[in-house]
Amino acid sequence: MTVPEDAVSTVLVTGGAGFIGSHTCVELLDHGHAVVVVDDHSTSSPAALDAVQSLSGRRLTAYRADLRDATALDAVFGAHRIDAVIHFAARKAVGESIAMPLEYYDINVGGTVALLRVMLARGVHRLVFSSSCSIYGDGGGHPLTEDDPARPTNPYARSKWMCEQVIADTVHRHPELSALALRYFNPAGAHPSGLLGEDPRGALHNLMPYLMQVAVGRRPRIEVFGSDYPTPDGTAVRDYVHVVEIAEGHRMALERLRPGLRVLNLGTGVGTSVLQLVEAFAEASGRKIPYDLVARRPGDVAELVADAGRVAGEWGWRARRDIGEMCRDAWRFQQLHPEGYPG
Ligand code: NAD
Ligand code: WQD
């Protein structure tokens, strides 16, 4: 399939069927970009891409391939005139990364190396990379700026930090490259239509999907990991940011790439505790969310909140949707997809 002739640009989105990738595809299509997706669907359903196309009323081109398959990846670049790449494809579960570190370094770092090689060979010089707040380690109670040191505490976070360094070294050697690493905090919510959302495959790791499944009756109750943190209610505080606004951030990044590597946080600057999120989800869903206070989860930190001043100052990007809206949107998606996407 060819891309439209009037497209603003043609963007390769790796991991485009995933939670953040699929919302970003809608944002790109809505802004006139043509989208080519490479995804092996190891943690996502191809049905997410059908939802993207229904929502935007536009077609995209999708390839099922592992990013580390250099031949397959090169063939995609050969078939399209790619202007820029947004690189989401990765594994992201902290606990799993401790259990299988080599797999994580292979997929996350190896995938990024493979992508950069093909980009350089094919003369594609614009890259937006999914980085993560997890590279900071513990926030120590203050909002984190991009100048705070990286202190990753697990293989997943280290793999993201390594990717940033791989990109930095490659940009140093190839000054024609323009790259942006977006360090996002805790993406949550869903497209307001309810057609697109978070549908983790296999074991659940994150709080919001857990709340969604308890509210819809797929799980009986939630465990709150740790109630003795030095936070107002003793439970851990995070900066939840609406996935649609994260998607907007990627589209804005693409349009603002310039030579070199820039690093920017995407967060709200507002902290929400686990118990506050439980309460907000109960209110949004009108369902009871039974919970038990249990021991801390190994590797967790007390507080991670962004200082999002730099991106606001430079681009005017500000997250405006609050926790209530994130919960209502996530709940709409869950109600329409009680068992997740089909297939
Ligand atoms: P996700 O699991 O929903 O999406 C990842 C996508 O990448 C999936 O569609 C998966 O099938 C695909 N993929 C994985 N390995 C691949 C490979 N080797 N080849 C091709 N495709 C592959 O996760 P997400 O929440 O959408 O996260 C996207 C990116 O954002 C990741 O890089 C993650 O590290 C980063 N990130 C996520 C969060 C978060 O909490 N969701 C926060 C900060 C950063
Ligand atoms: C949030 C809070 C849990 C589940 C992870 C990655 C980070 C980034 C975002 C990718 C924590 C608590 C959770 C449950 C609970 N992703 N919790 N009961 O750990 O802040 O961040 O996702 O880059 O890198 O580490 O997110 O949603 O897992 O947890 O009490 O059943 O909810 O202990 O305090 P986290 P999370």
Residue nearest to ligand 2 atom 26, measured at CA: 206
The reported pTM is: 0.97
Question: Environment class of residue 2 by beta-carbon count within 10 Å: exposed (0-12), middle (13-18) or buried (19+)?
Answer: exposed
CA distances to 149, 161, 181, 325 from 137, in Å: 9, 11, 17, 28
d(CA 1, CA 83): 17
Closest ligand 2 atom to Cα of 304: 20
21-52 tens-digit pLDDT: 999 999 999 999 999 999 999 999 999 999 99
* CA–CA separation, 190 and 195 (whole Å): 8
CB atoms within 10 A of CB 148: 16
267-273 average pLDDT score:
97
Answer yes or no: 341 catalytic: no
Residue 50 CA to residue 331 CA, distance in Å, equals: 20
Spatial distance between the Cα atoms of 246 and 252, rounded to a whole number of angstroms: 10
Q: How many whole angstroms separate alpha carbon 76 and alpha carbon 37?
A: 9
CB of 161 closer than 6 angstroms to any ligand 1 atom = no
Q: How confident is the model at residue 2 (pLDDT cuts 50, 70, 90)?
A: low
Q: Model confidence at 70, in pLDDT bands (50, 70, 90)? A: very high
DSSP category for residue 205: -
Max distance between CA atoms of the chain, in angstroms, equals 58
Compute, in angstroms, the gap from residue 234 CA to the centroid of ligand 1.
Answer: 30
Does the CB atom of residue 266 touch ligand 2 within 6 A?
A: no
Q: Is the pLDDT of residue 161 over 50?
A: yes
Q: Which of 88, 204, 205 to mutate to test the pocket of ligand 1 (most atoms within 8 A of CB)?
A: 88
Arithmetic mean of pLDDT, 74-99:
96
Pick the more confident residue, 138 or 323: 323
Separation of CA 229 and ligand 2 centre (Å): 14
Residue 3 — pLDDT band, cuts 50, 70, 90?
low
Spell out the domains of the chain, with CATH numbers in brackets. 10-190+240-267 (3.40.50.720)
Residue of 274, 278, 279, 301 best suited for mutating to test ligand 2, as the one with most atoms within 8 Å of CB: 274
Percent of the chain at pLDDT > 70 equals 98
Most confident of 4-18, 133-147, 163-177, 293-307: 163-177
CB distance 124 to 144 below 8 Å: no
